[in-house]
Amino acid sequence: MLIEEFCRQMPKAELHVHLEGTIEPDMLLRLANRNDIALPWENEQQVREAYHFTCLQDFLTLFYNGCRVLTRADDFYDITLAYLKRAKDDNVIHAEMFLSPQSHLANRVGWNEMLDGTLAAMAAAQHDWGITSGVLLGLQRHRSEQEAIDILREAMPWRDKLLGIGLGGAEQGNPPRKFERVFRKAKSYGFYLTAHAGEEGPAEYVRESIERLGVDRIDHGNACLDDPALVAHLVESGIALTVCPLSNLRLNVESSLKEHSLNKMLKKDLKVTINSDDPAYFNGYINDNLVACQQALSLTEQQCLMLGRNSIEAAFLDTNQKNQYFGVIDKFAAHTAVTP
């Protein structure tokens, strides 16, 4: 088969996707209608036309506005199931998804609505399609650390059902060190830790996320390339970067896929994975991202397989589960020939 088809069919994990960023325009309009929420758009085309951004903040304003359509457990169920179905169709075998509690609490939507719906859809997707998944609470960095600590405390009843925490939102001017205490607490609860860093912010924020927050993974991480000692540390420690190429283009973090940091990251042996971030807003799911990079950078079959294996290695799964998934990829590779 052609390498493009090989990328699409390869079993993979998605490790960086925001559930609220998966609400497609038709779903957005349907949920708004169902919950009697006024939106400034009347049809799908108007919604799509609004999805043009010059920077991260531009996008975040629309993202938070879109969160308003989610009010009941059913809404969270529907968006989670729709994403997992779409991911399964891209041959995703495991997904780790951010949920942004502060966005919903600000809209007077409670924890039961958010998590009962989301977790029920995850169980249904595993039962029906065999796809495994986990939820990370995406804390907002423009809000206070005290608020993040409160969020962590409020999430305690669901502790065993959550994978961990992440840090997202407007990066510039909101350094990771602001959240040192909350990350320490989360670690003590046995949570996995990750943070968006080096997307719009500097390499220093990637370094701080590692040294002061103790993260297990970096989301994006593009700016790390500006600091050779940091790159060496990332390579040596095996800390993975969850790179989101089409998101980077849409938010003007990178100017083209041919010039994308991914190329340099691969050359420097950084452990990179390819992800979609907010696929409904950036018009690209994981396979769209993978195929676009393969085409732009002429990635080889071996490089594509490495990206697939990296996604399992960097997942917050136990060793047995990882070995099982490595086996699935190996079997795929052994039975699939790429036409030159």
Ligand X SMILES: Nc1ncnc2[nH]cnc12
> Does the annotation place 277 within a ligand binding site?
yes
217 binds ligand X (CB under 6 A): no
CB 182 within 8 A of CB 145: yes
Q: Pick one of Zn ion, ligand X, none as the site partner of residue 270 (Cβ within 5 to 8 A by kind).
A: none
277 binds Zn ion (CB under 5 A): yes
CB of 277 to Zn ion, least distance (A): 5
| C-alpha to C-alpha distances, 136 to 34, 108, 164, nearest whole angstrom | 27, 20, 5
Of 185-204, binders to ligand X (CB under 6 A) are 196, 199
| C-alpha to C-alpha distances, 187 to 14, 69, 120, nearest whole angstrom | 23, 32, 26
| C-alpha to C-alpha distances, 8 to 232, 276, 308, nearest whole angstrom | 31, 14, 11
The residue from 11, 25, 164, 168 that contacts ligand X (CB under 6 A) is 168
Looking up tokens 């676009």 gives: 292
Q: Pick one of ligand X, Zn ion, none as the site partner of residue 56 (Cβ within 5 to 8 A by kind).
A: ligand X
14 binds ligand X (CB under 6 A): no
Looking up tokens 């938070």 gives: 64
CB 243 within 8 A of CB 254: no
315 phi/psi in degrees, rounded to 5: -75, 155
Check if 199 is active-site: yes
**DSSP label of 156:** G
> Does the annotation place 278 within a ligand binding site?
yes
90 binds Zn ion (CB under 5 A): no
Of 39-68, binders to ligand X (CB under 6 A) are 56, 63
Residues at the binding site for Zn(2+) are 16, 18, 196, 277
Residues at the binding site are 16, 18, 196, 277-278
Contacts with Zn ion by CB under 5 A lie at 277
Contacts with ligand X by CB under 6 A lie at 18, 21, 56, 63, 168-169, 196, 199, 247, 277-278
